[in-house]
Amino acid sequence: MSPKKDIPPWYRPRRYLHFDLPITLRQPELLVTNPTRVQQHAFYPFISYDIKSEKVEVKEDGLFERKRKDRPVSYASHVDSHVYSYYGWLLNKEYEKRVSILEIGKNVLAFRDYTNAKSMKDILTWENVIL
């Protein structure tokens, strides 16, 4: 595989089970950078399931109440996920440009690129937001 510096920012290795097998870095690059290939690509269906968890709340009378929470999760196939990742990365670059042009970086925190952030405190500090 290429040295880390040659790995595109949109690329993430995928190793979960799906209908297809994980692929090397070169294969998704050839697909996602060619709009004609993407247009002709046959996408697999998502594999979906619910993650079940319990949330415990303290009621007014001091007793605990358990509430079940189901969170739907869907996985794209390995190849499809690279397509989504690449085009999401392109859209995010344009979004960041727009946020900068409109000078709304201090107001808009959602859907931003905080790749190097270790916590929310880092993000709020970068955006000069008062805690």
pLDDT value for 129: 54
Is residue 10 in some structural domain? yes
Pairing of strands 64-75, 47-58: antiparallel
**130, pLDDT greater than 60:** no
**2, pLDDT greater than 60:** no
Number of domains in the chain: 1
Is residue 112 in some structural domain? yes
pLDDT value for 103: 87
Owning domain of residue 50: 4-126
pLDDT value for 70: 92
Is residue 39 in some structural domain? yes
Is residue 131 in some structural domain? no
- DSSP letter string, 16-74: S--SS----SHHHHHHHT-HHHHHH--PPPPEEEEEEEEEEEE-TTS-EEEEEEEEEEE
The tens digit of pLDDT for each residue in 37-84 reads 999 999 999 999 999 999 888 888 989 999 999 999 999 999 999 999
Is residue 37 in some structural domain? yes
Could you tell me the pLDDT band of residue 5, with boundaries at 50, 70 and 90? Answer: low
Termini Cα distance of the chain: 43
Is residue 19 in some structural domain? yes
The tens digit of pLDDT for each residue in 114-128 reads 666 777 776 666 555
**18, pLDDT greater than 60:** yes
**1, pLDDT greater than 90:** no
Is residue 55 in some structural domain? yes
